[in-house]
Amino acid sequence: MRQQLLAWWEVHGRKDIAIKPWMFTTDGRWPEPNEDLSPYGIWIAEVMLQQTQLRVMRPYWEQWMLVLSTMQHLVAAEERQVLLLWQGLGYYSRARRLHQAARQLAASPLPSSLEAWLAVPGIGRTTAGSILSSALNRPVPILDGNVRRVLARLHGCLEPPQRAQASFWQWSEALLDPLRPRDFNQALMDLGALVCTPRTPSCQLCPWQSSCAAYAAGEPSHFPVQDASKPIPFQVIGVGVVLNEVGEVLIDQRLNEGLLGGLWEFPGGKQEPGEAIEATIARELREELAIEVQVGEQLIALDHAYSHKKLRFVVHLCRWISGEPKPLASQQVCWVKPEDLSGYPFPAANVRMIATLIDHLRADMLSQRS
């Protein structure tokens, strides 16, 4: 089976510097088994890939490596710069842990053992295995989403992967080619991404078709078995874009906790049952910032989905009336010129709000001139 998979991968795998640049030597070659790669670029790539598809994360990795090309650059960077480079990838706690880990590891070479990588903030067993096998060709198994799907179908596993983790790790370790672990792990991930896809697997192209229990059963797309999904909660969030008399806008920085910790945002909060959205915005700004505002026209309403909830943001322009803004539920607050908002890391939904605000202010300026 190892030979079958590697033979398939040599022809069809994603061995392309334009697709996985972190997997190539400095002179543009796929490494030989006895060649090591720099763990730094692979570490950054693997953390970015934890919750993000390859085609989405690659431009972020390329931009990151232009700006923070070495551990020393990352260690010296301010958190705001790190979060700005991460802006759009989501799960911002990954970026904060990456920054924290770099500062912890700054005084010594990057780890070269599974145990040492597992002690690094934000690194689990799969990420550690990917770094070690990719950079140093170490025989360490992996178990990302693509690999779980392949193994679930190969073995016809009737349990959800999260409930059978020990078995899945045993299967991944038993299959791993001890002579070519780098290539094998890459091939296994590529098989899941290109052939053994979630909804319509291309079984006729699979090198393991004759060994696959799910294919033999005639229902490969029924695997992996899933737990019954829970309903996703829906919330309406009132957001205030507060402008002062000189045209500056008020933003606050979230506490360093949760998915969006450390990012900046326009203030607001959840709408209570039966509450008008204008009342929500006025109340939230009073409770969180100790200010009074006049809630004006709606700027934009937009829907945004996270993995665990769906939100509708209803955004209104507001005029600041009184009260010195205080960070009662955030790290800090500040007044910013609209044209300077791009220098602050915001969640994706706020980026759309900013674009709408800039367009609105520009249209206002043009109408005043005419």
Neighbours of 63 (CB within 10 A): 12
Considering only CA atoms, give the Rg of the chain.
24
Structural contact between residues 171 and 180, judged by C-beta atoms closer than 8 angstroms: no
How many helices, marked H, and strands, marked E, lie in the chain? 14, 7
**For residues 366 and 229, what is the distance between their CA atoms, to the nearest angstrom?**
50
Structural contact between residues 253 and 263, judged by C-beta atoms closer than 8 angstroms: yes
Among 111, 118, 172, residue whose Cα is nearest residue 136: 111
Known binding positions: 254, 265-268, 288, 350
- Phi, psi torsion values for 3, nearest 5 degrees: -65, -40
Known binding positions for 8-oxo-dGTP: 254, 265-268, 350
Catalytically annotated residue among 46, 272, 278, 284: 46
Q: Per the omega criterion (within 30 degrees of 0), is the bond before 224 cis?
A: yes
Among 172, 105, 113, 134, residue whose Cα is nearest residue 41: 134
Structural contact between residues 60 and 319, judged by C-beta atoms closer than 8 angstroms: no
Structural contact between residues 337 and 356, judged by C-beta atoms closer than 8 angstroms: no
Known binding positions for Mg(2+): 268, 288
State the distance between the two ends of the chain, measured CA to CA, in whole angstroms: 73
Neighbours of 334 (CB within 10 A): 14
Q: Per the omega criterion (within 30 degrees of 0), is the bond before 325 cis?
A: no
Question: How long a stretch of residues is the chain?
Answer: 370
Q: Please, which residues bridge with residue 312 across strands?
A: 236, 303
**DSSP letter for each residue of 327-342:** -SSSSEEEEE-GGGGG
Lookup: tokens for 48: 């970015």
219: Cα separation from own chain's centroid: 31
Q: Please, which residues bridge with residue 80 across strands?
A: none
**For residues 192 and 188, what is the distance between their CA atoms, to the nearest angstrom?**
7
Question: Is 46 a catalytic site residue?
Answer: yes
Q: Annotated active-site positions, please? A: 46
